Homo-oligomer: A and B are copies of this chain.
Amino acid sequence: MENPIQRISEILRDQDDFLVASHFNPDGDAIGSTCAMGHILASLDKQFTLYNPSGIPDRYNYVNTVAPIATVLPNPLPAWTIVMDCGADDRMGEALLGRADETSIINIDHHLGNKNYGAVNWVDPTQPAVGSMLATLATELGIALNGDLAECIYLAVSTDTGFFTYGNTTPESLEMAATMLRNGLDIARMNMLITKQWSENRMDLWTEALSGKELFLDRQVAVTVVTKEMFARTGTTSEDTENIINFLRRLKSVRVAVIFREEGPDLYKFSLRSYGNDNVQEIASRFGGGGHRNASGGTIAAPIDEAKSMLISTIADVLELR
């Protein structure tokens, strides 16, 4: 059977017009991959439309997108559509999903359990990001990893790997970064642009959430609560709580960090983070939640004090903390 990278390379060379899509509410890998594919197609002198139903979020406004990112689908659709970073086809959004029979899909993804919903499927869960797969594809096509293409790939891979600090970081992705650095990528500038996107509202929410932390079980469990009132007062959304829990984990004594987010009256979503052998997935599952060994979550319907003590006693139980 033909290697999907070669098959995709052939299609990119043979066809003339493409739709390039990713998942709605795009993250760094989705935006970076969409624009990287645009740069690849531009290098090949192809026609293409970049598309995302959510548009490009403000925090990526520094990206050279090569072409505008349309929020509405073209009519008719091109014969081929490249869908990236979508583990399931409904992640591409209702509009495109509803017209998926009008186009042939090239599915490029790194999610475990991808449904192989494309006419061509290149799914590799060992890859840290779709961006790293596009680096391989560009190389296969003889396109150098430099300039705007390198910046888009760096955005994609650095955000999905936490700047090459998560366990999904691969030797190949570090070597790809080395190649791009040799080709002139300004890593310091990119990192500045990627991290320097905070609103004052977000910083206000963070400082309030961090200063409201409580420590339990001999300081091994850190808990913070973000209420609807806090969101409303600071003009933030649940997206702004991202990584507060990881910041709490910086505390040396802490084995489990917890954030509660108020969803409704006496209704709280919780997230748990741990390290190594401390299995928080087992804790979440006792509340009907789930996730992974070191990152999981669920929902508790109870007043916050009760929710806290239920969760803390379960943590103590599962991890055998005193």
Contacts and interface: CB of A to CB of B under 8 A. Distances in A.
A30 to B, nearest CB: 20
Given A196-B250, A215-B200, A251-B200, A171 B182 contact: yes
A288 to B, nearest CB: 28
The 4 residue pairs across chains A and B that have the minimum distance between CB atoms: A167-B188, A171-B178, A174-B178, A207-B211
Contact of A207 (B163, B186, B188, B207): B207
Interface string A177-205: 11101100011110110011111100110
A232 to B, nearest CB: 18
A175 interface: yes
A115 interface: no
Nearest to A255: B196
A204 B222 CA distance: 13
Contacts of A99: none
Contact of A252 (B197, B208, B252): B197
Contacts of A98: none
A2 B94 CA distance: 68
A208 B251 CA distance: 16
A121 interface: no
Contacts of A172: 178
A213 interface: yes
A233 interface: no
Contacts of A177: 164, 174
Interface in A217-261: 219, 249-254
